[in-house]
Amino acid sequence: MVVGRFEGVSRYRLQPTPAQERALLEHCGHARYVWNLAVEQHAHWKPGRASAPGFAEQCRQLTQARAEHEWLRGGSVIVQQQALKDFAQAMANFFGRTHRRPTWRRRGRGEGFRIVAVTAGDVRRLSRTVGEVRVAKVGWVRFRWSRAVPDGVKSYRITCDRAGRWHVAFAVIPEPIPAPGTGEVVGVDRGVAVSVALSTGELLNAPTLRQTEKARLRRLQRKLARAKRGSNRRGKVKAAIATLKARETDRRRDWVEKISTRLARRFDVIAVENLKIAGMTRSARGTVEAPGGNVRQKAGLNRGILAAGWGRLVERLEHKAPGRVVKVNPAYTSQRCSACGIVERTSRESQADFRCRSCGYAGNADVNAARNIRHAAGHAVSARGGPPLGGPANREPQRDLLLVG
Ligand SMILES: [Zn+2]
């Protein structure tokens, strides 16, 4: 598995000087302020009322706010306007049901800002291990050159995690991976018991923390509960927790890149559920088909992780296999028997097992769903009159969708 060349996002540890750090924090503060203003405006909006201000109107208001507030005027208009653009994209993702509703951002919690229209001259290498990136109003900021910066960087995002570590993530649209040409179609389902199930029967799990790390996390969380508010110790414990969580996020992100690359290389057509429809039926799937408190609890535990990881996986697949991703209606994918085609609600014995009362087929419930997705994709492909390799079956990836960090 080659990691690096084709991957869409490359993150590097940023090493700002103390003065630069102050300037970066100011950018973060401005981005957060503008973002929160947008959140607030949209929070008041209810169906039936006049629409909340769109991006153009918000930009006009930003100009006005900059005229009135000197501290805002002192900052970078590029950073502030980009925060509005990111918010507009986040709302579009929310309405597209691939992401949760954008929420209020708090100081010190995953702060960041984005710079677009980056050119080749904005990133340079100083030595074997040191690089520099040009940041508006801050200047050249050093970063650890831990791997090659990909060609064609169009934007980057600078973030400060809860542990106080700065990163720069360069975004490029990954190069499409050529189809293997085998005609093979794979169905991919997001499982509840596992992260991803393939119609081939493979079950793939996103990495989590190791047992020792989990134990450490539990110890830290107990410590945090006992630590006094505002105490030095509390701050240290919080930072340690944040470091562990960041590690888990990093591992998941790498995993999504690896899996999407692997699927794009191995299969001609990759079938997934249409998320726009899935968002609406997903809750019903949890209650109607698999009732029981235990299931719901388990689903709750996984939901956040899976929702974020899944949306990202589909996004990356569309970048790496453009025109080869087929989105199918998720209705009945978990109730239909993939062997005989009968749809029966009682066939799903539990979250993990599927047993057909009609033909006796038994198997993993997520794999059964993945096989149904593959089946539905076969219909979609033949209904269009041939394999989808000839032309783009879905719209081109939008540059703005490349939200990173
Ligand atoms: Zn059957």
Least confident of 160-169, 214-223, 298-307: 298-307
Give the model's confidence band at 72: pLDDT under 50 very low, under 70 low, under 90 confident, else very high. Answer: confident
246-278: pLDDT as tens digits: 788 778 888 888 999 999 999 999 999 876 544
Domain definitions of the chain by residue range? 9-171, 185-209+246-395
- Angle separating helix axes 77-95 and 18-43, nearest 10 degrees: 40
* pLDDT of 401 above 80: no
Least confident of 51-55, 155-159, 263-267, 290-294: 290-294
High-pLDDT (> 70) share of the chain, %: 78
Q: How many CB atoms lie within 10 A of CB 329?
A: 15
| Residue 273 designated active-site | yes
| Residue 151 designated active-site | no
CA nearest to 132, candidates 7, 23, 15: 15
Helix or strand or coil: residue 143?
strand
Looking at per-residue confidence, does 99 or 270 come out higher?
A: 270
CA nearest to 371, candidates 346, 345, 335: 335
Helix or strand or coil: residue 126?
coil
High-pLDDT (> 90) share of the chain, %: 32
H-helix or E-strand containing 212?
A: helix 211-226
Residue among 111, 189, 268, 315 flagged as catalytic:
189
Interval 295-319 mean pLDDT: 63
* pLDDT of 79 above 70: yes
Residue among 26, 268, 315, 366 flagged as catalytic:
366
* pLDDT of 297 above 70: no
**Rounded (10°) CA dihedral 197, 198, 201, 203:** -40
Tokens linked to 293: 């408190």
* pLDDT of 306 above 60: no
Give the model's confidence band at 47: pLDDT under 50 very low, under 70 low, under 90 confident, else very high. Answer: low
Least confident of 2-16, 43-57, 61-75: 2-16
Mean pLDDT, the chain, rounded, equals: 79
Give the model's confidence band at 127: pLDDT under 50 very low, under 70 low, under 90 confident, else very high. Answer: very high
Cα–ligand 1 centroid distance for 92 (angstroms): 40
Cα–ligand 1 centroid distance for 193 (angstroms): 22
Cα–ligand 1 centroid distance for 362 (angstroms): 8
| Residue 400 designated active-site | no
Cα–ligand 1 centroid distance for 337 (angstroms): 5
Please state the φ and ψ torsions of residue 30, each to the nearest 5 degrees: -65, -45
Residue among 26, 111, 273, 315 flagged as catalytic:
273
The pLDDT assigned to 397 comes to 33
150-185: pLDDT as tens digits: 777 888 999 998 778 999 998 877 778 999 999 899
Interval 377-385 mean pLDDT: 64
What separation in angstroms does the CA of 236 have from each of 118, 165, 166?
A: 36, 14, 17
Helix or strand or coil: residue 139?
strand
Interval 10-37 mean pLDDT: 92
Cα–ligand 1 centroid distance for 361 (angstroms): 5
Cα–ligand 1 centroid distance for 338 (angstroms): 7
Cα–ligand 1 centroid distance for 367 (angstroms): 14
Cα–ligand 1 centroid distance for 7 (angstroms): 40
